[in-house]
Amino acid sequence: MDLFVTKDIPIEKRREIAVNFSDEIEIGNEFFGSSDEFIVRESLIDVDVCFFKLEDIRQNLSEVMEEYRARTGYTTCFVYNVLNATVLYDKNQVLEQLRQTYRHVYPDALKKAIVDMNYPILRNAFSSYYHQIEKAISRGDLNSVNHRVTAFLASYYDIIFAINGVLHPGEKRLLSIIESTCVHYPPHMSDFIKTIIKNIGMDDELLLQALNRLVDELELLLKEQSFI
């Protein structure tokens, strides 16, 4: 559950609300942003309340959808979140205004910006993820290999969603979501990604080969769609 606030809610007030519903609570978690977590009493329902400043969300949507500021991965996630949320309370209709403004809009300039930001860093740039992975392998740094592969895939997925004009839904079930919502994606994408993940720390040659083939097929697709 996301809660967009105009000002911070005191921790004690949040705790006071949670204890009405739960005996197992964690209030004021800051591990992944501000959040409260609790299990509803006499049930197995796990509630995770994430707090975001409303103005920060509004600024993010403006930067992405109007200024076309791409990120290295997850560029349109907050846009997806706002547009697809089930709104329970919206006192001043701010969320509804944002939803009306950006619904059914995916600017071509944003698609291009996401490709321009994320494609070179896969393999072509000096500081590309591929080159970082090669270096990590050469020094036997398994932790770094895993970290850079994760970043590589984040940028890769951002590109796929962008060229299809599909808002990025977050980090879960991405392969199945792409296959069910996107028209354009490399034909062996799923096989290559599974090979990449399975061979982290197992077979360096297969890992690098699959990374290269993944980018090769993506390059063909981007040329077909006139992005490069």
Stated as kind and residue range, the H or E segment containing 36 is strand 35-39
Q: Kindly report the CA angle at 225 between 219 and 228, in degrees rounded to 5?
A: 50
Q: Which amino acid would we find at residue 211?
A: L
User: Which residues lie closer than 8 Å to 131 by C-beta, 6 or more apart?
Assistant: 123, 125
Residue 113 C-alpha from the chain's centroid: 16
Cα distance between residue 208 and residue 228, in whole Å: 23
Nearest CA among 151, 130, 95 for reference residue 211: 130
Q: Where are the domains of the chain?
A: 2-102, 108-224
Per-residue pLDDT of the chain (228 residues; tens, 9 = 90+): 899 999 999 999 999 999 999 999 999 999 988 999 999 999 989 999 999 999 999 999 999 999 999 999 999 999 999 999 999 999 899 999 999 999 999 999 999 999 999 999 999 999 999 999 999 999 999 999 999 999 999 999 999 999 999 999 999 999 999 999 999 999 999 999 999 999 999 999 999 999 999 999 999 999 999 999
Q: Which amino acid would we find at residue 13?
A: K
What is the number of residues in the chain? 228
Task: Return the bridge partners of 53, or none.
Answer: 5
